[in-house]
Amino acid sequence: MLKQKYQKIITALLLCLSILLIVAGCSSDSAQKSNSTAAYTVTDSQGHKLYFKEKPQRIISMSISTDEILIDLVPSDRIAAFSRLVDDPGISNIVERAQSVGSRVDGQSSEAIMALHPDLILIPDFVKPEVIQSLRDMNLQVYVYKTPKSFEDVRECIRFLGEAVGEKERGEMMVTAMDEHLKKVQDKIGKIPKEKQKRIVFMRSNGAYYSPEASFNDVCRYAQVRNALEELHYDKPGIVNQEAVVQLNPEVFLLAGWNYDGQHDPKQMEEELLNNSSYQTTDAVKNRKVYTVPAKHVLCVSQYIVNAVEDLADAVYKE
């Protein structure tokens, strides 16, 4: 009897052990399946492939546009550093929110970036190739994105960055929110006949600037104003001479308000433009139609670009 009792106990223990092994095996298979699902590959704008076993947890952003996009894509604890411009209220839309991330980078020191132990670096295509290569030579995951030059480019950039950080769905949500915001702004502006749309020229401290491929051209179209410089049909970016601007005779001069070096006070720039003898015959100066809009909107290429449309329409059509 005693022997039979021990045999039953041993049998029960073996059964329990078998069940535990089966459960452990299932858990292991489930974990492997989960890890497999989390793994993904993305290709940046230069055709460079990046492979991730899981979503990156220490992301470095090296431009103000990716700073602004990234903070809406992932929680702050997944961001290792922002660019230095993120703290400049003249050009950054996320100054306060960015304080949740302690480190800043400027791209000048690869060693300083390496010290942050990043698992993904988001970097614009205008950065010098040797800087990008030096980071890749350190075996760092570097994703180079194409600088947006239109609203559609901004949408694509958000989507691509969403894929890069493993948040594709969140990226699509951001694009949808951007388009909904744009529609509200356009509804507010209403429909303005082309013949009544104001003709404007964007000015910098060194003169009128035009680029055939610039997000500002889209901003003008959505705000239903006409960029008078497009009438010149220039195929390259650059400063437009004063004589050409005078001949265009714009109704409005536009400035971007950003005193980035302490020597570009917006009010002072407005007065200098109004008192510039070369432009006294233009309708813009004669009617004192010189307006300054926030640079953090009109110069940005993130989801905040929609604000530039509203700024521009409000300034030009405020009467």
| Domains, in order of start, for the chain | 42-183 (3.40.50.1980), 190-316 (3.40.50.1980)
> Rounded mean pLDDT of 200-207?
92
- Between CA 310 and CA 295 the distance in angstroms is 13
Cα distances from 156 to residues 46, 56, 108, 121, 147, in angstroms, run 15, 20, 28, 18, 10
Collapsing DSSP states into helix, strand and coil, what is residue 305? helix
48-58 confidence digits (pLDDT tens): 999 999 999 99
Asked if pLDDT for residue 197 goes beyond 90, the answer is yes
The tokens describing 53, both together, are 């076993």
pLDDT of residue 111: 87
Which residue, 313, 294, 318, 307, is CA-closest to 89? 294
Q: Where are the alpha helices (DSSP H) in the chain?
A: 2-38, 64-73, 110-114, 129-137, 151-164, 168-189, 215-223, 242-248, 266-274, 283-286, 295-298, 305-316
Report how far residue 45's alpha carbon sits from residue 148's, in angstroms, rounded to the nearest whole number. Answer: 12
Model pLDDT for residues 221-265, shown as the tens digit of each residue: 999 999 999 999 999 999 999 999 999 999 999 999 999 888 899
Whether the predicted pLDDT of 34 surpasses 70: no
Report the pLDDT value the prediction gives residue 23, as an integer from 0 to 100: 44
Which among 294, 299, 313, 296 is positioned nearest to 149, based on CA atoms?
Answer: 299
Could you tell me the pLDDT band of residue 81, with boundaries at 50, 70 and 90? very high
Q: What residue type is assigned to position 43 of the chain?
A: T
pLDDT tens digits, residue range 123-167? 999 999 999 999 999 999 999 999 999 999 999 999 999 999 999
**pLDDT higher than threshold 70 for residue 209:** yes
> What does the pLDDT read at residue 36?
39
pLDDT, tens only, 91-106: 999 999 999 999 999 8
| DSSP secondary structure of 42-83 | EE-TTS-EEEESS--SSEEE-SHHHHHHHHHHS-GGGEEEEE
